[in-house]
Amino acid sequence: MVDARSRLFKVYSRRQDCNTNKATSVRPPPPPTPAPQELKEASRNREATGIELIPDERNVYLWTALIKGPKDTPFEGGTFELAITVPEQYPLVAPAVKYRTRIFHPNVHWKASLLRTGEICLDILKNAWSPAWTLSSVCQAIVALMSDPAPDSPLNCDAGNLLRSGDYRGYNSMARMLTCEHASR
């Protein structure tokens, strides 16, 4: 019975090419990509949000985001680069987003471990993900996190400890210094 099903599957998964009379395999259609709708939304809101989304020319699942540091923060005047990896199951599964530009922030991991460097602690990228989120809205949430850090759940303990102890001057000084060194364009 299994062999019969297997042969039937092979017959139905192959078709004749009318021009050459050769059998060719039928390939499943590629999974949908976020490119058209995401690019349209991002370009429409680019000036207002300070976010530029750029898809990789060779791989539609790899994106780069350039975000401007929010006003009245130590990140103001900086441009930060994010690496975005969109899973094939998107939008049902959250994209993986990491900072490529070094930043001093309690919710961004930046230590010697190359594997976790740039990792962002943001609930919508983990357990609070919803298919209603877009790449642009994820970047907007990251900009909001830059303005309003959550020091109680830090990935960068040094930054988190400065904020929790009330040393805003020390935190702002470190964040500003790294912004000037790494995020100035």
Active site residues: 121
Calculate the CA dihedral of residues 147, 152, 154, 157 and round it to 10 degrees. Answer: 110
Residue 155: name the closest of 112, 120, 115 by CA: 120
What pLDDT score does 26 carry? Answer: 58
Q: Which domains are present in the chain? A: 35-182 (3.10.110.10)
Residue 4 phi/psi, 5-degree rounding, is: -65, -45
| Residue listed under structure tokens 């001057």 | 169
Q: What is the mean pLDDT of each run of 10 residues along the chain (185 residues)?
A: 45 48 56 65 73 92 96 98 95 96 95 78 95 94 98 94 98 98 88
What pLDDT score does 36 carry? Answer: 67
Whether this prediction's pTM lies above 0.85 is answered by: no
What tokens appear for 74 in the block? 């130590």
